[in-house]
Amino acid sequence: MKKYSPFLVCTALLLVFVALLEMQALHRTGGHFCYPLDDAFIHMSVAKNLAVSHVWGVTNSGWVSTSSSPFYTLVLTLSYIIAGVNIYSPFIISLLGGILVMYALSRELNNNSTLTNQQKILVMIVTMILAVIPSLSLSGMEHTLQISFTLFFVHAAATYIVSDDKKKSFWPVAILAALMVFTRYENVFLVGSVCGILLLRKKIAPAFLIGAVSIVPVVLFGIFFYSKGGFPIPNSVLIKGNTNFKSIAGGQLSLPALSMSLGGILIVACLVAYDRIKRGLYDRDFYLVAIFIITTFFHSVFAQFGWFFRYEAYLIVLAVSQLLKMFLQEFNWKEWRKPATLIFGAFTIIMCSNLVLRVANAQRKTAGAIHNIYDQQYQMGKFVEEYYNGQAIAANDIGAISYFGDIKTLDLWGLANNEVTKARKDNYYNTAFLRELVKKNDVKLIMIYDSWFKPDISEDWVKVARWYLPYNVICGDDMVTFYAPNAAAAGMLKQNLLQYAETYLPKENRVEYYR
């Protein structure tokens, strides 16, 4: 039982943190359950259609790959098949993912450290807090599962890297790699880092086989969607593609600046790795640090950071847990007064202080983000459910409206529309394109952020009203504008908006009418 006490203690603490954050959120939303991102509702819409209509898309009218996390969508779909379509399943899955993160950390510390139980608990709690696992557990997204699979993969890979046993199978590492990449596409950077190290260790065949196996699910997924008329890469990856490589090559950006919240701990990790190299100590801990450093480089150049603390969370968990474990395991407490030790300690604290600020920001924003989504996207979803079921609706945030409403969603931003994604990729996304797209799909209502579409908003569209958030911490804009596709539809739209605002819209939302 002692062996599992760190896991049990930290899991209990995680549940307490999650409960406290959710209580804050429910207080703000008047008891209505919601998520801090519209993206959660995108997963829910796809899972709902896959479970009910057997179509992978935000509506049942066509197959569209909207997310770089196919595995999570499949898990959510399975939950809907078993328990029926409901708003709570994403939260339960995310929370279970958070618990799985605690188990992965506990397993690593039990099997590959000499720490006491108290020290293990310290490592796990600090990691949980600095990576804002409680907030991610409330997101209804795939990131807690991604983090847990990352830990299982990296720990298994590091053990395989240092093993001299030629009979030791690489297949567990390969299978974990495939599962991890199918959960989040950017985890391919981790696989690449491990395969590169294996090549340097002259484990040539395992390196290539692990790399090949890791991409099998996403390649098959891509081929399938290509056969359905879509893109082999999810629309979200195509639209949100990162161009940082050009900025670095041109000297406009540096790696520490790009890595943002990881910049400080990345520098500390590099110093730790350098010390290991200087001492000729190429052990399992060294390779874990090396994997973090290499992956952070690739993530910084080719992927994204931020947007509710999620994109870089897997790297923060890996770095904090590993570096803190090494510190507690190797630090000579008798030498803590030495100037060199004090200087390095102070330097480490300063370099990692931005992670503490990140935690404070997450604590401040989590309930506020849930409140924002409830006041904006949730209300948009309920509005179309009330007045526009069965109709074609155009919008840029398409999660909640697609989940709550039985509608034909036209995503003007492109995540859930192959035609729009192609227009953006091929540079013919403009006013004329949007006008014809709306007309062709017989759209009855357009709900967009004006700031996202200027100057491409068609003059044919009739501006009827605008909802204002009292404050904004997460939404793409604090103003969502309602357009009728033509003058004939404007009167009915205004009547519907007036009725909804009077009956359902939270009183803190300000409404401005233009007709």
Identify the three-state secondary structure at position 444. strand
In a domain, 337, yes or no: no
**What pLDDT score does 263 carry?**
81
**What pLDDT score does 241 carry?**
61
**What pLDDT score does 400 carry?**
96
Rounded average pLDDT over 467-477: 94
In a domain, 41, yes or no: no
Does 54 have pLDDT greater than 80? yes
In a domain, 176, yes or no: yes
- According to DSSP, the residues that pair with 513 across neighbouring strands are 465
Identify the three-state secondary structure at position 372. helix
Q: Give Cα 182 distance to the centre of its chain.
A: 13
Q: Which residues contact 120 (CB under 8 A, 6 or more apart)?
A: 6, 106, 109, 110, 113
Mark whether 266 and 150 lie in a shared domain: yes
What is the token pair recorded at 407? 């509608």
Mark whether 378 and 498 lie in a shared domain: yes
Mark whether 132 and 209 lie in a shared domain: yes
In a domain, 376, yes or no: yes
Does 214 have pLDDT greater than 70? yes
Q: Which residues contact 327 (CB under 8 A, 6 or more apart)?
A: none
Residue 14: which pLDDT band, with cuts at 50, 70 and 90? Answer: very high
**What pLDDT score does 248 carry?**
57
**Domain ends where: 330, 354, 388?**
330
Domain count across the chain:
2
In this structure, what is the dihedral angle of CA atoms 88, 91, 97, 101, given to the nearest 10 degrees? -150
**Domain ends where: 308, 330, 352?**
330
**What pLDDT score does 246 carry?**
57
Mark whether 290 and 393 lie in a shared domain: no
**What pLDDT score does 335 carry?**
67
**What pLDDT score does 229 carry?**
81
Does 255 have pLDDT greater than 70? no
**What pLDDT score does 305 carry?**
76
Mark whether 192 and 321 lie in a shared domain: yes
What is the token pair recorded at 393? 């609706």
- According to DSSP, the residues that pair with 448 across neighbouring strands are 481
Does 466 have pLDDT greater than 80? yes
In a domain, 185, yes or no: yes
Distance CA 393, CA 375 (A): 19
Query: Crossing angle of helices 117-130/5-29, nearest 10°?
Result: 30
Does 102 have pLDDT greater than 60? yes
Distance CA 169, CA 298 (A): 27
**What pLDDT score does 137 carry?**
97
Query: Crossing angle of helices 263-278/313-330, nearest 10°?
Result: 40
Q: Which residues contact 275 (CB under 8 A, 6 or more apart)?
A: none
In a domain, 39, yes or no: no
For residue 455, whether the previous peptide bond is cis, meaning omega lies within 30 degrees of 0, is yes
Mark whether 94 and 195 lie in a shared domain: yes
Distance CA 367, CA 29 (A): 9
Of the ranges 257-266, 284-293, 316-325, which one carries the lowest mean pLDDT score? 257-266
**Domain ends where: 330, 349, 379?**
330
State the chain's mean pLDDT as an integer.
Answer: 91
Q: Which residues contact 68 (CB under 8 A, 6 or more apart)?
A: 184, 185, 186, 234, 236, 237
Query: pLDDT for 304-352, tens place per residue?
Result: 776 678 889 999 999 999 999 999 988 776 666 677 777 777 878 887 8
Rounded average pLDDT over 104-108: 98
**What pLDDT score does 261 carry?**
74
In a domain, 277, yes or no: yes
In a domain, 385, yes or no: yes
What does residue 30 show for φ and ψ, rounded to 5 degrees?
A: 70, 30
Distance CA 286, CA 69 (A): 30
Buried b (16+ CB within 10 A) or exposed e, 46-84: bbbbbbeeebbbbbbbbbbbbbbbbbbbebbbebbeeee
Mark whether 324 and 400 lie in a shared domain: no
* Residue range of the domain that includes 209: 2-32+65-330
What is the token pair recorded at 420? 């729009």
Mark whether 122 and 199 lie in a shared domain: yes
Mark whether 277 and 211 lie in a shared domain: yes
What does residue 28 show for φ and ψ, rounded to 5 degrees?
A: -75, -30
What is the token pair recorded at 277? 């190299």
Q: What percent of the chain has pLDDT over 90?
A: 73
Q: Is 418 exposed, middle or buried (0-12, 13-18, 19+ CB in 10 A)?
A: buried
**What pLDDT score does 294 carry?**
96
Distance CA 374, CA 380 (A): 9
Rounded average pLDDT over 191-211: 96
Mark whether 80 and 227 lie in a shared domain: yes
**What pLDDT score does 336 carry?**
65
CB distance 213 to 174 below 8 Å: yes
**What pLDDT score does 167 carry?**
79
Does 59 have pLDDT greater than 70? yes
Rounded average pLDDT over 397-416: 93
Predicted model pTM? 0.93
Mark whether 242 and 377 lie in a shared domain: no
Residue 258: which pLDDT band, with cuts at 50, 70 and 90? Answer: low
Mark whether 218 and 81 lie in a shared domain: yes
Rounded average pLDDT over 175-184: 97
- CA-based nearest residue to 214, from 186, 235, 238, 241: 186
In this structure, what is the dihedral angle of CA atoms 205, 208, 209, 210, given to the nearest 10 degrees? 120
